[in-house]
């Protein structure tokens, strides 16, 4: 490991092409959400083959129980890889995080069945999810830091938008692969070997991501931090004392983001099917269209923020969710457009946040603590709120009290709105390397 760190941290490379740098920054996030989707989509095929069970439902519950463990590891990853990124470099942390993702996908692709190796099968699957959860926790923070620190100051919003553009690509690729495999293979073939195919693709993609990230140069902001001798300044104590205000600001900005994805991608299609009796084909077609729209608007909203500021977009998104989310979601019907309009409302507004989240979060912290400052608070919020959202939605829906969940999200929206109203505009903020160049 020390050889890998020293090699990747050297930074003695010619300037990396912009496109390669942007792809290197977002490939891990694309892989993360590709894996998120394929695990959920294919659990019905591999659950009973890996986990001991008496019926299909209990096997599926076991599969999703292990899946949830990934959320538990995210704060640990945000802390460990965040500190690692601040001390050894963004490029090094990104290379390690995508390698962990690839290894987790590889384990899932080759894990023998429960019938073949007994309890070792669910143990291997659990290890795979824990590794990926650890990886994902550090991936977001290091990628935010990397993209922001390698962006032109006046186009940081645009360049940072590549992160969630990668999210959209990963989700769309997973959806397309799920459709292709289920159309070309029988149910028995899917249960036998078909479910392994997407995990194998994820592993290969992760190896490509490592190769790409190992070839880009280290950010100038980190190199300047090394020159100042401040790379050892980042710690939990420093984060919660010297950067307490920034930490609470990031927590407030992350609350609504943690809810929004699960609400409109996971909850609304199911809500339309159960409440409005929409067919699954129509509900998920509308969801897919909104996901494509979400992906397309990322660079557009990133450019808007570079021109008009970050706060206006954040305030519009949070205000719209706070005051209109409840009636809009309840208006969902059983036709394609009634569902699509609700989905578009949620996902396009969510895009106002995701397009600029990397830039905003990076602009809050200094280089010596940037990855830790983003990684730990953000992943704590995602684990506590986003990780429990699917369970809470299902539990309330089973009790006929799904409206309480919408109220719960509106309260979270209001907290984020207050945070956005109180925070300072960050557009145009001088990052560390830019400041030193001007001295």
Nearest to 295 by CA among 205, 166, 140, 144: 166
Distance (Å, whole) CA 311 – CA 93: 30
pLDDT tens-digit map of 63-79: 777 777 777 888 998 99
Enter the tokens of residue 174.
């997973």
What local confidence, expressed as pLDDT, does residue 427 receive? 87
Give the C-alpha separation, 136 to 94, whole Å. Answer: 10
Above 80 in pLDDT, residue 53? no
> Residues 158-187, buried b or exposed e (16+ Cβ, 10 A)?
bbbbbbbbbbbbbbbbbbebbeebeeebee
Where is 265: in which H helix or E strand?
none
Number of CB atoms found within 10 A of residue 7's CB: 11
CB of 32 closer than 8 Å to CB of 101: yes
Check whether 374 has a pLDDT greater than 70: yes
Domain borders along the chain are 16-432
> Which of the two residues, 385 and 6, has the higher pLDDT score?
385
Tokens describing residue 433: 């390397």
Among positive and negative, which fits the CA dihedral 75, 133, 181, 211? positive
**CATH architecture type of domain 16-432:** Up-down Bundle (1.20)
Confidence class of residue 399 from pLDDT cuts 50, 70 and 90? confident
Averaged pLDDT score across all residues of the chain: 85
Q: How many helices (H) and strands (E) does the chain have?
A: 22, 0
């Amino acid at each position: 490991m020390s050889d890998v760190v020293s090699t990747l941290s050297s930074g003695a490379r010619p300037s990396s092409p912009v496109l390669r740098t942007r792809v290197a920054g977002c490939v891990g996030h694309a892989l993360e959400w590709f894996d998120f989707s394929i695990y959920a989509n294919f659990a019905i095929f591999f659950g009973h083959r890996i986990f001991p069970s008496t019926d299909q439902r209990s096997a599926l519950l076991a599969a999703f129980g292990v899946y949830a463990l990934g959320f538990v590891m995210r704060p640990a990853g945000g802390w460990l890889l965040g500190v690692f990124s601040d001390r050894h470099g963004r490029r090094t942390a990104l290379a390690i995080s995508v390698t962990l993702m690839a290894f987790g996908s590889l384990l899932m692709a080759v894990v023998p069945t429960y019938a073949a190796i007994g309890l070792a099968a669910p143990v291997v699957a659990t290890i795979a999810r824990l590794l990926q959860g650890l990886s994902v926790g550090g991936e977001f923070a290091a990628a935010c830091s990397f993209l922001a620190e390698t962006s032109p100051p006046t186009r940081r919003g645009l360049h940072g938008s590549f992160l969630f553009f990668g999210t959209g690509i990963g989700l769309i690729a997973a959806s397309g692969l799920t459709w292709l495999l289920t159309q070309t293979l029988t149910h028995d073939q899917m249960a036998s070997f078909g479910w392994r195919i997407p995990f194998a693709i994820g592993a290969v993609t992760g190896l490509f991501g490592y190769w790409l990230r190992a070839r880009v140069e280290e950010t100038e902001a980190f190199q300047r931090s090394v020159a100042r001798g401040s790379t050892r300044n980042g710690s939990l104590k420093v984060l919660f004392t010297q950067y307490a205000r920034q930490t609470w600001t990031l927590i407030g900005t992350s609350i609504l983001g943690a809810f929004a994805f699960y609400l409109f991608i996971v909850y609304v299609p199911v809500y339309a099917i159960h409440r409005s009796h929409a067919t699954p084909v129509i509900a998920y077609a509308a969801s897919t269209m909104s996901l494509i729209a979400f992906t397309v608007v990322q660079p557009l909203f990133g450019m808007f923020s570079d021109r008009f500021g970050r706060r206006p977009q954040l305030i519009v998104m949070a205000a719209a969710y706070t005051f209109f989310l409840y009636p809009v979601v309840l208006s969902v019907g059983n036709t394609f457009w009634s569902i699509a309009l609700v989905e578009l409302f949620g996902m396009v507004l969510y895009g106002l946040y995701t397009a600029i989240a990397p830039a905003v979060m990076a602009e809050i912290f200094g280089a010596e603590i940037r990855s830790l400052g983003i990684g730990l608070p953000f992943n704590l919020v995602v684990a506590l709120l986003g990780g429990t959202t699917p369970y809470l939605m299902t539990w309330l829906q089973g009790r006929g009290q799904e409206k309480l969940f919408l109220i719960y999200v509106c309260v979270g929206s209001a907290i984020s709105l207050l945070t956005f109203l109180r925070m300072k505009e960050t557009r145009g903020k001088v990052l560390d390397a830019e400041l030193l160049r001007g001295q």
